[in-house]
Structure 1
Amino acid sequence: MWSNLPFDVLAKIFSFLSPDSLARARSTCRHWNACVDTYPIATSFILLSLHHRAWFLALPTRNRGQHCYVHNPVIDNWHLLSFDFLPDPVRPVASIGALILVRPTNCTVLQLALCNPFTRQFRYLPMSNTSRTNPAVGVVTLDSVQHGPNPNFRVYVAGGMSEAPRGGAKYELKLEMYDSMDDTWHVVGFVPTEFAVRLTVWTPNESVYSNGVLYWMTSARAYSVMGYEIDGHRWRGFGVPMADKLEFAALLCHNGGLTLVGGASEGEACIWGLKEGDRWGLIQKVPMEMGRKLLGGKSWGSIKCVGSEEAIYLYKELGSGMVVWREMEEKAGWAWFWIEGCHSIGGNQVPNLPIKGFFLHPNLFPFTF
């Protein structure tokens, strides 16, 4: 009976499977494999992302380009994914649904690409209109329910250094935007010189989009935030709590608003939310016993953080474990959890590598951007 089910019925059933279960299901027979590969309704894959938690993707910060590690929160298990399909070593920039926006590390001029580590697809984006080095990159993901299993997105590039008319280099003031819907770069505005300098010198690539504004955190103490209002074409900057005492600070989006996670010397790590008037309000504190376990005698400066609408992870190395503030399954509230680090996969020991973490909703749907 199962081998004769119509594709629409079978696709509806498949929509409730986790990505790893779907991968096993498609290997059962040709009929099931054809349903996963060719059934034209994308709703099944959209539901797949909505029904299951995002996975934590850990990319080693050294020897980039060969492999990555992913944690499945449903069964609390780690997997190893090979990146041998990538033509060049890469540095991750942002996750977009099931895709990772990456930057090849063998090129000084900004070049961006997309990859899906589960389907092993890779594609370079077109080069931007202006060649620049070390710019800040911001990503805006559009609604996946409207635009399919791999959502459309926009990439904003600001700051960086470009060639001066008479030789040498200058801070680039053009603001460019890549739109996946037309696969084209557009000049959409300009950046004040002060912000262009800060975006180039003090800002890492990570950005956060919330309520029509792209935000970047400066990496220099005291920490501060820069925001670009997309519709109003307006730049603004403001401070953060305990700015001169924080040993690490990260911006996230939580409950639809801008959120700050930071840890201070000889203190706890805290979570703040941005309120009206660029004011911050305390939301949560990391439990002291979990914080001590995570730190392992080191300072908060060794900690990194990644977050989504459903969870916030604080982590260090691959094998060090993670402190997680996560929405409960029954959606009755949020709670703190400890997730063990990755020590072995398939009986093989895994080295305790420094990592960079991202969230993604894995799917097996090919992207067509």
Structure 2
Amino acid sequence: MWSCTPFDVLSKIFSYLSPDSLASASSTCKHWHICFKSYPLYSTTNKPQHPPWFLAMSTRSMSSCCYAHDMDRDRWHSLPLDFLTDPVRAISAIGSFILCRQSASSTPLQLGLCNPFTKQLKLLPPLTTLRINPAIGVVFGTRDKKGTFEDQNQFRIYVAGGMGEGPKGGASYEPTLEVYESVKNKWESVGWMMPVEFAVRLTVWTPNESVYSQGALYWITSARAYSVMCLEIESKQWKEVKVPMADKLEFASLVRRKERVVLVGGTSEGEVCLWELVVREANWVLIERVPSELGQRFLGCKGSSWCSTKCVGSGEAVYLYGGSWGLGCWFGEQY
């Protein structure tokens, strides 16, 4: 019976499986494997029925594996990345897949989607403009004629800035932006010019991670004094959002929490503060303060620095992590 189950019924059953169980199911028999492979690689049509997993990938070392944490069972899985031909850096989770790029920032950008459990990899089409180390943002949903994002089963990738070829053949900062739409599977260059200063900051001082909230994409610079750059998608406008205690924070990151942008920053006193952005007022409101003693316990020893600390948000929670792990993301989460 199971070997003849229609794909639509079987795929619905698959949607209830955790990432590790889904990988096992896909290798059970030929029929199940064909069903799994016949679905688009980045499909988010079936809403996962299990809590998302925390995925950690190293950026400082060319690690041959990544690690995933099962929240239900409180168990870590080591996942080999031997199916990848080149070392990659994770950008964002897209359903049960990871948007990644090659780890070398000195080569032209190439993006792909991979699933470390099922060892699948799909390279996205080349960008319309050669770009080295641009900023990347992901938005879930497709736009209607009014510019509103509706269908959450699709996604768009925004690439801004980067080093490109100048008019006389030399290298220059690229002040343009291009967009990939999953429903079209192609890149389109859009004429949303940005100030040259923003192009420089997006290329040199901005990590690839971004946060999307209420119609805008946000990137934070990677060194003090911190600042946030914002792209309002509907109005096609770029602007800067000031950061509280910008020159005093040892680390600062943006996360998405309950559809809002939250800034997480740590001071030399071992304290961590969380601010929420009030978009209309372009102002930050303090919503939480982590006690100094808890911060020192996280750092591990007296005098340690927050500099290598990063964080990721999911639902109502914000998680801190550190060491050589460059990105933590929520694998299998429905946006």
TM-score of the aligned structures, taking structure 1 as reference length: 0.77
CA contact (8 A) 1:10 1:35 kept: no
Q: Does the residue aligned with 2:132 lie in a helix, a strand or coil?
A: coil
Partner of 2:158: 156
Q: 1:272 to 1:99 in 2, by over 3 A?
A: same
2:224 and 2:246 in contact (8 A); partners too: yes
CA distance in structure 1 between the aligned counterparts of 2:3 and 2:85, rounded to whole angstroms:
41
Task: Name the aligned partner's letter for residue 109 of structure 1.
Answer: P
**2:175 — aligned with what?**
173
Q: Is 1:200 paired with 2:241?
A: no
Match of 1:56 in 2: 54
In structure 2, the CA distance between the partners of 1:240 and 1:20, relative to structure 1 (3 Å rule), is same
Q: Tell me whether 1:295 sits opposite 2:273 in the alignment.
A: no
One-letter code aligned to 1:128: L
Match of 2:313 in 1: 307
Aligned ranges 1:278-293 → 2 under 5 Å = 278-293=282-297
**1:316 is matched with which residue?**
322
2:36 alignment counterpart: 37
Deviations along 1:23-49, one digit per CA (max 9) or x if unpaired, are 55666x65994696389899x975552
In structure 1, what is the Cα distance between the partners aligned to 2:332 and 2:210?
19
Structure 1 match to 2:331: 360
Q: Which runs of 5+ in 1 are unaligned?
A: 318-352, 364-369
Is 1:233 paired with 2:236? yes
- Label 1:224 to 1:25 Cα distance change in 2 as closer, same or farther (>3 A): same
Q: Which one-letter code corresponds to 2:210 in the other structure?
A: S
Corresponding residue to 2:74 among 73, 76, 82:
76
User: 1:99–1:65: structure 2 CA closer, same or farther, 3 Å change rule?
Assistant: farther
8 Å contact kept, 1:248–1:301: yes
The letter of the residue matching 1:302 is S
CA distance in 2, matches of 1:219, 1:40: 38
Q: For residue 19 of structure 2, what is the aligned residue in structure 1? A: 19
- Quick one: distance in 1 between partners of 2:10 and 2:107? 47
Compared with structure 1, are the counterparts of its residues 24 and 285 closer, same or farther at alpha carbon in structure 2 (3 Å cutoff)?
A: same
Shift in alpha-carbon separation, 1:310–1:33, aligned structure 2, 3 A: farther
Q: SS at 1:186's partner residue?
A: strand
CA displacement at 1:259 relative to structure 2: 0.8
- Alpha-carbon distance, 1:109 to partner: 1.3
> In the superposition, relative to structure 1, how do residues 169 and 48 fare at CA in structure 2: closer, same or farther (>3 Å)?
closer
AA of the residue aligned to 1:174:
T
Partners of 1:64 and 1:91 within 8 A in 2: no
Q: 1:309 to 1:192 in 2, by over 3 A?
A: same
Residue 286 of structure 1: how far off its partner (Å)? 2.4
2:121 aligned partner? 122
Q: In structure 1, which of residues 261, 265, 269 is the aligned counterpart of residue 264 of structure 2?
A: 261
SS of the residue aligned with 1:196? helix
Gaps of 5+ in 2: 143-149
Contact map agreement 1:17 1:48 (CA 8 A) in 2: no
Shift of 1:227: 0.3
Residues 111-131 of structure 1: per-residue CA shift (max 9 Å, x gap)? 212211122111221111111
TM-score (norm 2): 0.84
Q: Distance in 1 between matches of 2:126 and 2:166?
A: 19
**Residue pair 1:254, 1:308 contacting (<8 A) in 2 also:** yes
* 1:110 is the counterpart of 2:114: no
- Give the Å deviation of 1:152: 2.4
Q: Distance in 2 between matches of 1:200 and 1:10?
A: 44
Identity of aligned residues (%): 51
SS at match of 1:301: coil
Once residues 300 and 141 of structure 1 are traced to their aligned partners in structure 2, the CA distance between those partners, rounded to angstroms, is 32
**What letter matches 1:222 in structure 2?**
A
Cα distance, 1:296 vs structure 2:
0.8
Letter of the 1:306 partner, please give it.
V
Report the number of matched residues: 320
